[in-house]
Amino acid sequence: MPPTDVFSRRQFVGSAATAGLATLLASSPRVFAAGASDRIKIGLIGAGDRGTVSAGIIDCAEADPTIELVAIGDLFADHLEAAPANIEKAMVERGLPFKDIYKVTPERMFSGFDAYQRVIECDVDLIILTTPPVFRPIHFKAAVEAGKHVFVEKPIAVDAPGVRDFLETTERAKAKGLTVVAGTQMRRAPHIIDAVDYLRAGGLGEIVAGQSARIGAGLMNFRHSESIRQRDRADMEWQLRRWLFAVWAAGDFIVEQHVHNLDLMNWLVGETPIKATGFGGRQNRTDSIYLNAWDHISVEYEFPSGARVTHLGSQADGLGYRNDLRLQGEAGSLLMSFSRAEVQGKNPRKFPGSKTVKPPVQEYKDTLDSIRNSQAINEGGQIAESTMTAILGRLAAYSGRAVSWSWAMNASQENLTPAAWEWADLPLRPPAVPGHYKLT
């Protein structure tokens, strides 16, 4: 059973300032001369698959094998204990020098609700945030206050108050000259960059309509060994171990995963939507181990130009796979996936994908280069807008009503963050039903 520490929401947000305050506030980004051999020191917050196996520190090390991972934090001690072996296996599979990179000592491995703070207090240059999304605004604020560069996995919040908080911290990061790079790696894909340049040059004329689709597997085996709740685990612990299916922790799948697609939609169209209408539900994830997440959704986004783009999404086994986006312009249409892009119409052309650029690795290379060259990158605003686009779609679909961007961004008070961070009871909201779900 985890420790019984209790943090109120206010205490949790402000806890990074309670210990070593003068040191934290006085710290500033370490300066690296161009071409310097100094190793950039990494602190990893979140020791799950995204942090230690499939992305996170593994992609970061592939981008630059001279980095050093010096501190790791995770909410759960058992996940933390498994991290070194998981990291070593993943690095060996990619041919990376694990022993040169992994410099974490037992004294710099932290678990519990304050693990993030203790990692940030270590001598690190870059913080990688790969925890469940509900923690992102909290951890991001603490890292920036401590003067650390930050790589933030998507999404960056689960609700509008979280987005607003993240945006405030983004401005502080700009003032401090800190790099903030987001995990929307497809913005580094050469074929998508070329397609955006084509659109900006007027290749399709005005965008009038579009369709986005991401239909994929249900992830039903996510943390399968933890799917059955143990008797000694409180609501909070079980739900965080199953965070992917807890709306308050993940934001539902349109926010947690499909933010990738909506990020590209916004980028390609060149603006954020002004309104969304939608609906959806769950037909496959009906067992209690899937908590209250949906498995299908459909949202129509309306943009200031008048263009309407419909996003069709699902996480359900047995469906035909799709992951693409089509935009219709006055002079033709653009069909795009994560691997290629093609213009159809009077002036057809293709934008082939790259065989050498790996977008998930390139985003870390850009991050590390910006730190070494003292040329800060700040992507906080764009990932906040993309996350808000996904949240807007969820609000519209959950409620079954048209919801404006202005209201959702500025007025929505739906705060999914628990009132206290403690291993205790946490009643789970029932799955949303369109037409009955109340907006606040």
DSSP 231-255: TT--HHHHHHHTGGG-HHHH--HHH
Position of tokens 């001598």?
A: 123
Provide the residue type at 435 as one letter.
G
Give dist(CA 270, CA 327) in Å, integer.
12
Q: How confident is the prediction along the chain (440 residues), in pLDDT tens digits per residue?
A: 333 344 444 344 444 444 333 333 434 566 664 444 589 999 999 999 999 999 999 999 999 999 999 999 999 999 999 999 999 999 999 999 999 999 999 999 999 999 999 999 999 999 999 999 999 999 999 999 999 999 999 999 999 999 999 999 999 999 999 999 999 999 999 999 999 999 999 999 999 999 999 999 999 889 888 888 888 899 999 999 999 999 999 999 999 999 999 999 999 999 999 999 999 999 999 999 999 999 999 999 999 999 999 999 999 999 999 999 999 999 999 999 999 999 999 889 999 888 899 999 999 999 999 999 999 999 999 999 999 999 999 999 999 999 999 999 999 999 999 999 999 999 999 999 999 999 99
Give dist(CA 263, CA 362) in Å, integer.
17
Q: End-to-end CA distance of the chain, in Å?
A: 35
The CA-atom distances, in angstroms, between 136 and each of 131, 132, 139, 256, 292 are: 7, 7, 5, 12, 21
CA angle 381, 387, 391 (to 5 degrees): 140
Q: Of all helices (H) and strands (E), which one includes residue 281? A: strand 275-281
Provide the residue type at 363 as one letter.
E
Contacts of 47 by beta carbon, 8 Å cutoff, 6+ apart: 72, 73, 74, 79, 80, 82, 83, 86
Domain 187-354+387-421: what homologous superfamily? Dihydrodipicolinate Reductase; domain 2 (3.30.360.10)
Does residue 314 contact residue 308 with C-beta atoms inside 8 Å?
A: no
Q: Where are the alpha helices (DSSP H) in 152-234?
A: 160-176, 190-200
SS3 state of residue 90: helix
Domain 7-186+363-378: what homologous superfamily? NAD(P)-binding Rossmann-like Domain (3.40.50.720)
Give dist(CA 303, CA 272) in Å, integer.
6
CB atoms within 10 A of CB 69: 26
Domain spans of the chain?
7-186+363-378, 187-354+387-421
The CA-atom distances, in angstroms, between 358 and each of 180, 248, 355, 430 are: 20, 32, 8, 40
